[in-house]
């Protein structure tokens, strides 16, 4: 290997085209503004209910109204923390990489050869596509667990196409011959 080859080799590896790349995150239907509005409504209702019971003389009940508001807030915070998890799937001609990050920040990565990898689907008759697996060398890796069945189906089609493209190998673009009369 000459000095010029040694300098260009890392660039050629990083220049490998990305056939497919997806970042999968859990779906949360309630945004931050909706959360503030909902918690404000719950707080007002809890305060009003607690105040009514306090005026009637059942003051301990007011504390339970406050407690349920705190517990609802805590449940939403736990749910939003779990939404910080994600999966990243990338396919290049020589590698299929899956990176899973938990809500606690723990990272797990798998690097598979797309030539030896197949996509397996677990389908339910009534509900559609339930689970997706990447299978390589007898091992199963579950992917796209965050997605709904319809989203999994769309993801599976795109991923299967990318794996198929990686298995076909590099393709050459043919340049058509010039037409007669053109020089």
pLDDT surpassing 60 at residue 11: no
- Domain ranges, ordered by start, for the chain: 17-26+85-168, 32-82
Query: Is 113:96 a contact under the CB 8 Å cutoff?
Result: yes
Q: What average pLDDT does range 19-30 have in this prediction? A: 88
Spatial distance between the Cα atoms of 125 and 143, rounded to a whole number of angstroms:
20
- % helix / strand / coil in the chain, to the nearest 5? 45, 25, 30
Question: For all residues of the chain together, what is the average pLDDT?
Answer: 84
What percent of the chain clears pLDDT 90, i.e. is strictly above it? 44
Q: Pick from 111, 116, 122: which is nearest to 145 by CA?
A: 122
Q: What is the mean pLDDT of residues 46-65?
A: 86
Contact criterion met (CB below 8 Å) for 86 and 23: yes
Q: What is the model's pLDDT at position 8?
A: 42
* pLDDT for res 81: 87
Q: pTM for the full model?
A: 0.68
Q: How many beta carbons lie within 10 A of that of residue 176, not counting itself?
A: 5
Domain 17-26+85-168, classified CATH 3.90.180.10, yes or no: no
Residue pLDDT, tens place only, 115-174: 999 999 998 888 888 899 999 988 999 999 888 889 999 999 999 999 999 988 766 656
Residue that the structure tokens 């198929």 belong to = 164
Q: Bigger pLDDT: 91 or 58?
A: 91
Strand partners, 20: 91
Element (H, E) at 4: helix 3-14
Structure tokens at 100: 């899973």
């Amino acid at each position: 290997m000459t000095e010029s080859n040694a300098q260009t080799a890392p660039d050629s590896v990083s220049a490998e085209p990305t056939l497919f790349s997806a970042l999968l995150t859990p779906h949360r239907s309630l945004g931050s503004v909706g959360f503030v509005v909902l918690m404000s409504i719950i707080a007002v209702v809890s305060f009003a209910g607690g105040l009514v019971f306090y005026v009637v003389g059942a003051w301990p009940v007011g504390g339970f109204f406050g407690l349920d508001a705190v517990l609802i807030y805590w449940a939403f915070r736990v749910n939003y923390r779990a939404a910080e998890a994600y999966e990243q799937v990338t396919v290049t001609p020589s590698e299929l990489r899956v990176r899973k990050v938990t809500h606690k920040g723990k990272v797990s990565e798998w690097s598979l050869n797309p030539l030896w990898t197949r996509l397996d689907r677990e389908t339910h008759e009534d509900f559609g596509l339930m689970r997706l697996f990447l299978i390589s060398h007898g091992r199963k890796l579950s992917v796209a667990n965050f997605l709904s069945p319809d989203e999994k189906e769309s993801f599976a089609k795109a991923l299967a196409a990318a794996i198929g493209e990686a298995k076909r190998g590099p393709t050459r673009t043919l340049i058509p011959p010039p037409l007669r009369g053109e020089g």
